[in-house]
Amino acid sequence: MSNSEHSADLVATLADRADQDPTISDDAKLFVFAALDGDDELAAALEGDYVVQARQPVTEASREPVGAYLTGIEVTGFRGIGPTSKLDIQPGPGLTIVAGRNGSGKSTFADALEVALTGDTYRWRNKKTVIWREHWRNLHQSARCSVAVDLAEEGVGTTRIGVDWADATDVHEHTTWVQRHSKPRESGISALGWDRAVDLHRPILSYDELGGMLHDGPAALFDKLDAILGIDQATDAHARLAAAAKQLAETDKAAKAEARSLKAVLAESADERATVALGQLKKRVPDIDAVRAVATGTDSQPMADIARLRELTRLRAPDERRVAEAVADLRAATAELVTASVAATEHLVRRTALLRQALDFHKDHGDSLCPVCGVGTLDDTWRTRVAGELADEDEGTSRHRRAVHHRDAARDASWSLVRSFVDPVAPQRFSLSAAPPALAAAARWRRLPDDDSAIADHLENLRPELDSALAGLRAEAETALSQYEDTWAPIAVRLAGWCSLATRARAEQARLSEVTAAADFLKASIVELRDTRMRALGDKARAIWAALRQESNVDLGAVELKGQATRRRVELRADVDGADAQALGVMSQGELHALTLALFLPRATVEGSPFRFIVLDDPVQAMDPSKVDGFAGVLHELAKTRQVVVFTHDDRLPQAVRDLGIDARIVDVLRGVCSEVDVQDGKDLAWRYLDDAFAVAKDDRVPNEIRNKTAGMLCRMAVEAAGRDVYMGRRFRSGDARTEIESGWDAVPKTRGRMELALNGPNVERWLDDRGHKWAFHALGKSAHECLTGDPVELVRRVRGLVRDLKAVR
């Protein structure tokens, strides 16, 4: 079931429980549904703005999510694999055992899959030394490092997940991508929708994780199992309600605690307002409005005085340096003007003007007698002399103008220092002895004389006086303000704060009871749902343990999730020869590994997982032979509905599979020089049938009739097994659903019909004839009804060719 369907199913279950519970009110139900929807929805419900949303029922047809099978893992330059090596995996339910000695590179395929799906590996994440994370690039193939995982998705088709390291030196500096058939490549694997599923239904279990799962702590194991029960939406909702109830209760607690504290403070205050407020707070139900009036009503006017008092604490005389600079500049400008004025008298100015007019006259009328006196002659000689004199006189006039401008600017700057000063305003409520002297000093400061030299003296002499007066006023204002703030003001502020707190507490009190009821309802529901669902999971775990335990004296009992918060844990009970015990305390290392498998496998195969595959890396190391046989049986059962891939260096598992006659594909991983890893098909079911048929055909001790009939039957089974692999592989790669594929195969019981399914189009007779297999196939058909008359060894030889060509069909 997908996450959304799990969610809808859970909400529907809780809605039914709520409808059947007469003790829970409609308002409490509203809070339950709001909390299930999320933080914002619960916040809206607490404010009265939430409306329950209509939810679509979950149909049986939608319960199983779209799943995916592995079709291959390709590795280049990663860990133990140098040149590119690919492990092809038959998609669909079935057991694949990947065998190889330690160091062969087989576990590199498992690590590659884990990195592609999770971005990391349990092996690296839990090793304390960095050496485990340093040698992730292959020593013999460092130029290119990449991983690719091929999938067959139901309803989608082929999909590839890729991981590339390029020139990275850190194992985590990789880029991950996913590409579906005929679709553009997308960054990351979020497009698959597996982000949460990888955590909930982790389909990979390495030997390191196998040994560490039970040692990660009780809370970690609790979380792993609890997460897959599909009740996390309810537990999250309960946490929201508990937090909301705590917050609502905290408001009332805080209001009462503040009232107790305020009563003690008010009792010690001599202020008459404190007496009024204390009288209200002593009541069982205080009048909040009356307390608020005491806290704020009488302070409306005095607060203006407080503002003035604070302004006085910040009042300063004009900056001493600026005043000194202004005084110096004004005096310099005045002296400069006096000097310039001596050189630029009024007579000189008038003479200059007259001469300029004479020059203009000469320019217009040429040489002539002076028009003023009628004696002198205005000629070129005169003009040259006068022009020189005027140039000298112009410079003097310019200096005079600049001096006037400088003096005016210096005077304005001095006036600005005076005008920018804000006169102190004495607050009416507070009697400040330093206020009159300061006000007088300020008034004197602002009364500027007219003379520039007097202005400079005024600034220089009165600034220290003003500064001293203001310093005294500041100190007194700070003292008065401190006294005020140390007495009533803090009390008033606290009373106003209590009023707001008490008002909110009274409004929230009604909601608190409903939120608490909602939280209690969810808590009880979670316990029941957890027990019910965990019981089913525990039953699966016990069934697996029963198969794995074999000769063990330890029988697994109840698997329960106990406690909450920091005390949450998984309680594993065991029965040891009739005595009850904690399982972890009485099990051997091999039994602990078996127990971990018993817990992991139901978690990985729980309804709702999109992973149709389970990958186990070296799971049998610590098992004794009897447990290996039991484990093979467990894998056989799992492989009926899941694609199971087991990596092992232990020959006991492949041998157990052969001994027990379990249908499995065995793949051998061989390592050559320079990290060249070769993947070879071991004997799958079709070839094993043919091996058995050949052994029977060659055995002269078996009566001819039995030998011929058995060899024919085994050859026919080999052809059907090969055809089934071809048919199912093609259908899975096309994205067809597993149920449709299996029902399609089961609906055709005869060998010829199954050949048609495998070939998917070509006429069976023509295909057989083209490849020279007609005799062998017809011999198989006859052997189903009558004893084989030809040579059984020749039949096996011919059928081997038929199976080989059939397996090549895609």
**pLDDT for the residue numbered 60:** 39
Bridge partners of 502? none
Residue 244 or residue 223, greater confidence: 244
Quick: pLDDT tens for 506-517: 888 878 889 999
Tokens of 712: 């024919």
**pLDDT for the residue numbered 128:** 57
Q: What is the rounded average pLDDT of the residues 556-571?
A: 70
Q: What is the rounded average pLDDT of the residues 215-240?
A: 76
CA distance 91 to 100: 21
Tokens of 331: 């005096």
Quick: pLDDT tens for 292-321: 888 875 544 444 666 788 888 888 889 889
- Confidence (pTM): 0.58
Contact by Cβ (8 Å): 149, 70: yes
Q: Is pLDDT above 60 for 5?
A: no
378: nearest Cα among 390, 391, 389, 365: 365
CA distance 171 to 127: 14
**Can you tell me whether residue 336 is helix, strand or coil?**
helix
Q: Choose the weakest-confidence range: 15-19, 205-209, 567-571.
A: 567-571
DSSP annotation of 762: S
Bridge partners of 787? none
2 confidence band (pLDDT: 50, 70, 90): very low
Beta strands in 478-535, from DSSP E residues, in sequence order: none
Residue 731 or residue 358, greater confidence: 731
**pLDDT for the residue numbered 347:** 45
CA distance 710 to 792: 9
What is the residue-averaged pLDDT of the chain? 81
**Can you tell me whether residue 236 is helix, strand or coil?**
helix
CA distance 32 to 521: 8
Between helix 232-268 and helix 26-37 the angle, nearest 10°, is: 110
CA distance 355 to 362: 10
Q: Is pLDDT above 70 for 126?
A: no
Q: Are strands 186-187 and 175-180 parallel, antiparallel or unpaired?
A: antiparallel
Q: Choose the weakest-confidence range: 513-522, 619-628, 747-756.
A: 619-628
Q: What is the DSSP string of 597-660?
A: HHHHHHHHTSTT--B-EEEEESTTTT--HHHHHHHHHHHHHHTTTSEEEEEES-THHHHHHHHT
CA distance 382 to 384: 6
**The total number of residues written for the chain in this structure:** 810
Torsion of CA 681, 683, 685, 690, to 10 degrees: 130
63 confidence band (pLDDT: 50, 70, 90): very low
Task: Tell me how crowded residue 204 is: count the other CB atoms within 10 A of its CB.
Answer: 23
**pLDDT for the residue numbered 55:** 55
Q: What is the DSSP string of 70-123?
A: EEEEEEESBTTB-S-EEEE---SSEEEEEE--TTSSHHHHHHHHHHHHHSS-HH
Q: Is pLDDT above 70 for 344?
A: no
372 confidence band (pLDDT: 50, 70, 90): low
Q: Choose the weakest-confidence range: 19-23, 429-433, 496-500, 648-652.
A: 429-433
659 confidence band (pLDDT: 50, 70, 90): low
178: nearest Cα among 87, 114, 120, 116: 116
CA distance 629 to 703: 33
**pLDDT for the residue numbered 62:** 39
Tokens of 278: 């204390």
Q: What is the rounded average pLDDT of the residues 699-709?
A: 86
List the Cα angle 303/304/309 in 5-degree steps.
90
Q: What is the rounded average pLDDT of the residues 184-207?
A: 85
Task: Tell me how crowded residue 386 is: count the other CB atoms within 10 A of its CB.
Answer: 16
**pLDDT for the residue numbered 91:** 93
CATH code of the domain occupying 74-183+198-203+609-680:
3.40.50.300
Q: What is the rounded average pLDDT of the residues 198-202?
A: 81
**pLDDT for the residue numbered 584:** 60
Bridge partners of 615? 204, 645
CA distance 301 to 397: 62
801 confidence band (pLDDT: 50, 70, 90): very high
Give the domain ranges of the chain: 74-183+198-203+609-680, 683-808
Q: What is the rounded average pLDDT of the residues 675-689?
A: 83
Tokens of 537: 């999971």
**pLDDT for the residue numbered 50:** 84
CA distance 5 to 657: 38
**How far is residue 664 from each of residues 45, 90, 321, 755, measured CA to CA in Å?**
57, 11, 97, 21
CA distance 208 to 123: 6
**pLDDT for the residue numbered 780:** 86
Tokens of 349: 């100015």
